[in-house]
Each structure stands twice: as structure tokens, then as C-alpha cells.
Structure 1
């Protein structure tokens, strides 16, 4: 059996469509369909049910998902173990959006320059999504917001950056009192489904602030653009640059004590067979300004 077929099947299940799986894998939808057809012929049962453009696993598909994940994980581990004394290898890394544009690119540039034979797969996502992938061994490491709960001792982490929360307002409103801005201007909330947004929500509840909420977004860059266009104010982590170009915003200190900070961490499984590559990534991330 070609393990590419299993990988394609799992990506289709994760994405819920052939077209999305094709974009993720960098192949055509027809090639995705051919791989699925070949896998179904080898398994001897239909694995997907199609409804328009959407697909979902059949009963047989559901039955093989967990075992397929284990097979691919075991195969990756065998490859890493066999190449332990070589400068290259494969590193599967997850990263939240602000790390993708800020912390990660210069570190990856140095890492790939030092180890040109290194194969790197980068999965973007939210912190909860990346933590789930890390827990399933689908990722070797992830740059994410530190989880707001106790995680297993099998996981290790290193704090890369502490980002204090700041009041973000349009330049045109910067002379107004921060307390008045929060009271009188529309408030654009950092999504509470994100761990950083949940951290901020707990602080807001403790302050008993009377906010005029009207939007809740999960993309920090989008919130900053909204604020720049005088659509409201927000409280956001002061994330690693770059920020979107052309913003007309000001960062203001908040009129309250004990402001929380969002901690960005590199997290990995202690027993990961990619530990050698993760250590190299740690070294490069520690060189950040």
C-alpha cells in the first residue's frame, strides 16, 4: 500500500472536501480522487461519502482513521530514527498566525541554511487546533499560546516571547482618556475561542468594565486594520512584528493594574523522535531580537 494514499485520505477527512485537500497537498483534485479510488480498491470498501463538494467518512472510513494515523506516525518515526546521525530529516511544525509572520521566518531561514537537507512541513492554525495535532503526534512541535490548563508531563515547552496586552486605538483618538475610550467607543473583542482571547476575557470580567462590544474576531491583524479605520478600539497582545503596513493606530497603556501577558511558547513531545531537529529549531528561535 502506498502511504501517500493514506495521507491523502486523512487530509480529505480533516478538510471535508477534495478541493481543500488538493490545495493542502499541492496536487490537483483529480489526483486526490485517483488516490482515494486506489485506496478504496485496495481496502475493498468505499471510504468516503460525497454530498456535492463536501465529503465525510463512511462507516469503513471511520473504522480506519485511527489506525491510518498510527501507521503514518510509526513510519515517520522509523525514518527519523534511521536518519538520526544525518544533518537532515523531516520536521512537522505548527504555528499560530503571528508566529508565522514574526518569530518563525528568520529562524527557519537560518535553520534551512545550516541544514539544507532538512524537510519542513508547517501547519498554520489556532493554539487549540495545534495542541490537538501535537497531542496526536501529527506534529513534532508547535509555536502557540501557552495552554491555560495543566498539560501532560510528556510535553515540554520553552517560552519564546511574553506579549503584554495593550489598548489599541486609532491615531485620531489617541488624545482621549483610555478609560473614556473603553467606555464610549465601540469595542472589538479578541475571540474568546482563542487562548489569548480567553486570558483577556478573564481579566475584563475581573475589571467589571462596561464595554460597547460589537465585533469578535479571531485574527489579530484584522482587528488592527478595523481599529486603524476608526471602527472601534481593542485590547490585544503586543505581538511580534511585522504588523500590517499602513496602520494608523496607537498602543496605549491600560487604565488598570495587573494586566495579563500572552506567552508564546515552543511546545513538543518529550519523547519525540525529532528531538534533535527540535533542539536545532530552539537554538534558532533563541536568536530572535
Structure 2
């Protein structure tokens, strides 16, 4: 029996809707409905009663809900007990690319120094993908953007970095006003389907700038390289020294405004409250507190 199906069943009951549970789990409604049918088949009874677009547990479903919560807690406790005697194993970490290119290497260096026998497997992806993988127990923790929705009580969040938007410009143009550069220079745009790219797009709209778009790219480091080649300017979250290290470009701060977009984004760590690797995750967070803020 897939324990992830039980977790998803609990989510359906909490939401009272398969479609809403699917949205929060970043799965399709059809996938959730299929999982519920499989679970009912394995249990040998109906678990959910449909009421229009909503669902509720019947007697059997309510009993599964109550026992299922305890089962998942016991499963996590079992995993923790198995690895508790020896500080060895695998920490499955998800990360957005900007963190991987920015402050994550320093965190990993500190963590592996104190936990040399713990292997860290890193999976990169977008925040929604990493959040879904975390819920499906495919990851132990995810370094990502702060979700825009309220998190369930089973998921914990710890903010690590605030990354304001900055204008990347060639060193020869660094004396000019960043808003003037956005108005007059070609823009190497950060891809709008990404969180930071959408934030940059919203900011441009908020200040009334229609940029001269030259490229649209999903990598902030690639944007930095093109800016260095004189292909235009960039508007990206400030991920730290990696943007400008070894390059003849500058990261220009935007003037203080009341704009939500200009204030940037928050990056942090997500993990399950009942994670079997809570101890490692807490120590990984401690490594973050020892890592200097990007400048």
C-alpha cells in the first residue's frame, strides 16, 4: 500500500474537495481520484461520499482518517529510530537553481564538515515541483521560494534569505540611474514563468516601464554573462556574489519604494514536521545561520 495515498486521502478529507487537494498537492484531479479508487480497492470498502463537487468521509473513511494520521507519525518515528544510532545515511534535498548558484554551496560545505558520513542528494526544480515532491516524501527538505498559500500544519517553513530585485549593468554604466537603464537599454529578461521573473515583470509594470526586450532566459547566471558581453541589462533577484564575481558588471540597488515587487522575494527551507531527518534538517539550518548574507 502506498503511504503517499494515505497522506493524500488525509489531504482530501481536510480540504473537503478532490480538486482543491489536487491543487495543493500539485497533482491533477484525475490523479487524486484514481489514487482514492485504488485506496478504496485495497481497503475493500467505500471511504468517501460525493456531495456535488465536495466529498466527505463516511464511517470507514473517518476511521481511516484517524488511524492514518497516527500511522504516518509512527512511520516517520520508525525511520528516525532506524537511523538514530549512527550519523550516516542520505539527506534528500531539493533546491531552486538560484540557491544552488548562490548561498547553498557554503551551507553544504559547513554541513558536510560536521556530518562527513551523511550523503546529500540534490534535486533541482521549480518551487511548486519541489513542494509536491516534499509532500510525496520524495524529498526530506526543499530550499525554495516561500509559497504564496498557507501551508498545512504538517509542513514547516524557515526563511533564510531576502533577495531584493537588482539591475545588472556593465561596469561602464554603473554610474547611471538603474531605472534609466531599464528604460533606455535592451533588457535580458528573466523568464516570466519563474517566481523571480514574474516579480521582475510585475515591477516593470508597476513603475510604467515597457522594456526593449532582447532575450528571455531562465538562468540568472546566463543573464549576468550576457550583460557582461554588452547585450543589455538585467533585472533579477540578488542571489549574492555569484552574480558579479569575476565579471565586469555591477548589481545596482533600486531606490526604496513602497512597491511589493521591488522588495523582492524570500527564500527558505520547507520540510515535514514529522520528518525522520528532523535532526539533520535543524543542523542544516544552523549551517545557514553561519553563512554570510549575500552582498
In 2, are the aligned partners of 1:160 and 1:266 still within 8 Å (CA)?
A: yes
Number of positions where the alignment pairs a residue of Structure 1 with one of Structure 2: 220
Find the aligned partners of 1:198 and 1:134 in 2 and give their Cα distance. 24
> C-alpha distance in 1, partners of 2:255/2:243?
24
**Structure 1 vs Structure 2 CA RMSD:** 2.6
Aligned counterparts, 1:17-166, within 5 A: 79-166=79-166
Structural mapping, 1:195-274, within 5 Å: 195-243=195-243, 245-254=245-254, 257-258=257-258, 259-274=262-277
Q: Using the alignment, how far apart are the partners of 2:177 and 2:118 within structure 1?
A: 52
Partners of 1:173 and 1:118 in 2: CA distance = 46
Task: State the 1:278 CA deviation.
Answer: 0.8
Q: Which moved more, 1:176-185 or 1:155-164?
A: 176-185
Secondary structure class of the residue paired with 2:149:
coil
Residues 90/77 of structure 1: CA separation in 2 closer, same or farther (3 Å cut): farther
Indicate the SS of the match to 1:181: helix
2-side partners of 1:90 and 1:78: how far apart?
Answer: 16
In the alignment, structure 1 segments of 5+ residues that lack a partner are 1-61, 68-73
How far does the alpha carbon of each residue in 1:118-138 deviate from its partner, in whole angstroms, 9 at most, with x for none?
A: 122111223232222112211
> What residue number does 2:49 align with?
none
Question: Relative to structure 1, is the Cα distance of residues 250 and 117 closer, same or farther in structure 2, using a 3 angstrom cutoff?
Answer: closer
Describe the shift of the 1:196–1:153 C-alpha distance in structure 2 as closer, same or farther (beyond 3 A). farther
Question: How many angstroms apart in 2 are the aligned matches of 1:268 and 1:285?
Answer: 15
Maintained 8 Å contact 2:96/2:143 = yes
- What TM-score do you get using the length of structure 2 for normalisation? 0.66
CA distance in structure 1 between the aligned counterparts of 2:117 and 2:76, rounded to whole angstroms: 16
Which consecutive residues of structure 2, in runs of 5 or more, have no partner in the other structure?
1-33, 40-73
The separation in 2 between residues aligned to 1:255 and 1:183, in whole angstroms, is 15
Measured in 2, the distance between the counterparts of 1:92 and 1:77 equals 17
Which runs of structure 1 show a deviation greater than 6 angstroms over 4 or more consecutive aligned residues? Answer: 74-77
